[in-house]
Structure 1
Amino acid sequence: MRSRFGRAGGPSSTAIASVSVLALCCGLWLLRDAAETPAPPQPSAAQAHSGRAGLVPGRPAALPFSPPERIRIPAIDVDAPLTGLSLTGTGSLDAPPPERKNLAGWYEAGTAPGERGTAIVAGHVDNADGPAVFYSLGALRKGSTVEVDRLDGRTAVFTVHAVEAYDARDFPDERVYGAAKRPELRIITCGGGWSRTTGYRGNVVVYAHLTGGRGR
């Protein structure tokens, strides 16, 4: 996946002001193995935002900045290292190397997971050989847990409050990348349906908020 960013941020975090998302993964393996392999799962309408999304009592305090090292999503068997992603000379967010299918990335010029604000994690849904780290992201449900291990020895624990799919032409920049008053996390991959002629039509986005932590 690939994103073009406009940036605006504070002294310790970066809020992404606008974005246009394009898919790098075009499902070449699906074309090759279509008779045997289903397309990645997509979220149902029941997993979309609701009026009370993420409203929980006793919010935990935000954590100080520390780079993330690993992300785990037990409900969909994700356990992957994280690499830093930066912007290219054209303003696009670098994607993790596609040949490393169990690798995800985080936007390291922005908010770190656990800090106050919106942290961004991105990863491939597939590569030329088959499913990649976030292939099953669209199957995630509200209430699922996301754990992010950090360099400072702490684990930031997030709870999913929405999972949505968007067509690339209607990607809601502000909803996905806008600044947050509490620690939030977005996890993004290719999705939005798949076509044999155009590949993935858009993106799947998971919305989660900090609900706990472990470690020192």
Structure 2
Amino acid sequence: MGNGSKQVTPPTPPASEAFDSTGSGSGTNSGSGSSSGTSAGHRVTPAAAPMSSAAPVALRIPAIKVDTPLLGLGLDRDGSLDVPPTGVRNVAGWYKDGPSPGAKGSAIIAGHVDNARGPAVFYKLGTLRKGQRIEVARADGRTAVFSVDALEVYENADFPERKVYGSTDRPELRVITCGGGFSKKTGYKGNVVAYAHLTGVK
């Protein structure tokens, strides 16, 4: 989800922002929902009740100054998640055949880290920290508010599809972009994934 513009080097999240060694963190590493500060000393925020299904229309991540419209995405012929148009820097997409953000299950949002002109919508995704806020405005006029549980980096060959895309028993969100190093021959070597759970509705 990026073209690898050689003028930019997107930040990579530190190991301290990943899930703990037991693989947990969903619900236990969640934070206060604050859009400022670090993950140190953040308190657990209980999960909110699931919302009804409604298409998302915009995504806001205050801590990294993201405010972008959302397009519907499907699957490519090889079964992989489609990506937003590469020529538009400030746009992301959600997997329209999966749960909508705020509904029960894992909602998927993806966007480019860069393009040929420089940084794109999720260039700073790797600087997010546990407990920071992600907001998704929906077509029903409500906004689903999520708290970041963890950020992890995966090599392409080791991408944990079940962990990222698998069903969950509460409303969760995955925000995905490219990362994990860059090769001039093949592009980005992996992905950065932010995991979050629903903590409120406004």
| Shared fold, TM over 0.5 | yes
- The range that moved more, 117-126 or 170-179, is 170-179
| Amino acid across the alignment from 1:104 | A
Counterpart residue number, 2:55: 67
For residues 23-172 of structure 1, what are the structure 2 equivalents within 5 Å? 25-27=2-4, 29-30=5-6, 33=7, 37=8, 39-50=9-20, 53=25, 54-55=27-28, 56=44, 58-172=46-160
TM-superposed deviation, 1:100: 1.0
SS at match of 1:46: helix
Contact 1:98 1:124 in 2 (8 A): yes
Percent of aligned pairs with the same amino acid:
57
For 2:75 and 2:160, locate their aligned partners in 1 and report how far apart those are by CA, in whole Å.
Answer: 20
5+ residue gaps, structure 1: 2-24
TM-superposed deviation, 1:58: 4.3
Aligned counterpart in structure 2 of residue 183 of structure 1, from 161, 171, 181: 171
TM-score (norm 1): 0.81
For 1:159 and 1:75, locate their aligned partners in 2 and report how far apart those are by CA, in whole Å.
Answer: 12
Of structures 1 and 2, the larger Rg is shown by: 1
TM-superposed deviation, 1:197: 4.3
SS at match of 2:63: helix
TM-score (norm 2): 0.86
5+ residue gaps, structure 2: 29-43
| Amino acid across the alignment from 1:115 | A
For 1:191 and 1:171, locate their aligned partners in 2 and report how far apart those are by CA, in whole Å.
Answer: 12
Contact 2:59 2:136 in 1 (8 A): yes
- The range that moved more, 123-132 or 48-57, is 48-57
Counterpart residue number, 1:213: 201
Q: Evaluate the alpha carbon distance shift between residue 138 and residue 61 of structure 1 in structure 2; reply closer, same or farther with a 3 A threshold.
A: same
For 1:192 and 1:163, locate their aligned partners in 2 and report how far apart those are by CA, in whole Å.
Answer: 12
- The range that moved more, 56-65 or 140-149, is 56-65
Q: Evaluate the alpha carbon distance shift between residue 107 and residue 156 of structure 1 in structure 2; reply closer, same or farther with a 3 A threshold.
A: same
Q: Evaluate the alpha carbon distance shift between residue 201 and residue 57 of structure 1 in structure 2; reply closer, same or farther with a 3 A threshold.
A: closer
- The range that moved more, 49-58 or 123-132, is 49-58
For 2:182 and 2:76, locate their aligned partners in 1 and report how far apart those are by CA, in whole Å.
Answer: 27
TM-superposed deviation, 1:175: 1.1
| Amino acid across the alignment from 1:163 | L
SS at match of 1:72: strand
TM-superposed deviation, 1:89: 3.6
Counterpart residue number, 2:183: 195
- The range that moved more, 194-203 or 58-67, is 194-203
